[in-house]
Amino acid sequence: MVAVSGRADSPADPASSTSRSIRSVSATIRRLDTCSSRRTLHPDDKLPSIAELREQYQSSAWPVRYALRILEERGWIVTRQGKGSFVASKPPA
């Protein structure tokens, strides 16, 4: 166990877990944004499932779902219940 700022940095440490989750969300958003800007994702393309994104980014489900929600709030993707997430037809300018 390594002490960081007087706090134990272990898997049970909530601060450590939260920090890793935030980094994972940020990384997921950057990767999806990069795919979009490089034109590897096109309007109406279906995104991989949460399980596939978890495996691809070696992350838990929570950061992936949160990243998708942020991208949806920003207008980059749309989510259709029971169908999945898709690149928005008209991404924000």
Which of 9-18, 19-28, 54-63 has the highest mean predicted lDDT (pLDDT)? 54-63
pTM for the model: 0.65
Domain boundaries, the chain: 12-87
Tens digit of pLDDT for each residue in 42-80? 889 999 899 998 888 787 888 888 888 888 998 888 999
Taking the domain 12-87, which CATH number applies? 1.10.10.10
Instruction: Give Cα 32 distance to the centre of its chain.
Output: 8
Q: What is the pLDDT of residue 18?
A: 60
pLDDT score recorded for residue 51: 92
